[in-house]
Structure 1
Amino acid sequence: MAGYVHFQVPPLPIQLMGAPATAWAIAYDIDTRRTQNDLGHGWNSHRCEYDMTSLTSFYPTPANTYNQLVTMLTTAGYNRSQYSDYLRPNADAVTTWRVMMGLMNLLPAWKMETTIKGLKMYTMERPHLQDVSARVRLGGEFAQVLRGPTPRVLVEAVDQDELEYVPETPLPLLPAKIYPTFTSGFESAQLVNCM
């Protein structure tokens, strides 16, 4: 999409270096309400018809956001183990980190940062190994500035008291303070300085 900055995958955390190849999993949790709201430009992701996956269970086939997440994970060799958990046997920490952080490039840009509730990678032996939830949310260490036009309602929904990242020196104009608004006619982004 024009006008958006690609998410750069951060370096592998030191505690994951040298981790053995084993069954690694990636789990995510999306704020369904914010994801399903009709905000334009692909943010709304209404659930579709039910899909029978086995004789004992069925689940709603997701649209847009969930399709992109599932495609990204399954293309990388991860299979759904339960709900929003995807497992890959014989994976390594580096690959799992890159795939997990690569989910942040879901389109439209900044959708994940404004709707993500949880994101982590883990092994069965260490279920809370690398939880990056707070670090990838808007205002977190890996999502300090807007990468492109974002609906105002998603930016305003961020709880300013829970921001993990605080700049050491104040910036003349914080990019997170630039809120776009979408016009109703063409839904094109128009930046509005709301300082």
Structure 2
Amino acid sequence: MSIELTDFARRRLFPGDGRRTAIQDITAEQFVERLNAEAPVAVLPGYAPFCRLHVHRNWTSTRCSVIAITDANRHQLRSAYEARTPAELPVLVRWFEGLEPPVANYLVPILYSREQMAKEGTPIAADWGIVGCLYTMEPAEIPMVPITMMRNALGVEEGGSGVPLDREAYTRSVAFWSAHANWR
């Protein structure tokens, strides 16, 4: 099995601007090389048959992706309308400013199959393409953000995958993201 980093994920995980929320201490090439050389601690099913998550122990200083919202930090939440790429419509996002989460115990690359990548207009040579990565304390998936689920349901034309909205998964996602936020 071979893994390749997509341009979409490269821009987000290795932006080159020193962003603290990016993967730290390694290059994109070193990251992919390690994922191809090292067996994951676990392989988790993704939200669709073409998606899977590989759980790896964190060998970097990359910090957790999300922080729990508390009365003590709620005043540090920020929000804005943003697009992930110039082709996508901006959506409402929120994040913490001024907080520093702990170093993550796990890096969880999100992989799409070669067939799905081709369907989305991003052909790859490898069997699997990295489309994102979670930075977690537990060897588990963080629920997909509700707006990402909606974008996926809108289809590839709007930056999604074409997977219909799963109401139960969406409800779980809303519960999680009502109590957590990303940080910058």
TM-score normalised to structure 1 length: 0.22
Larger radius of gyration: 1
TM-score if structure 2 supplies the norm length?
A: 0.22
With CA pairs under 8 Å and 6+ residues apart, which has the higher RCO, 1 or 2? Answer: 2
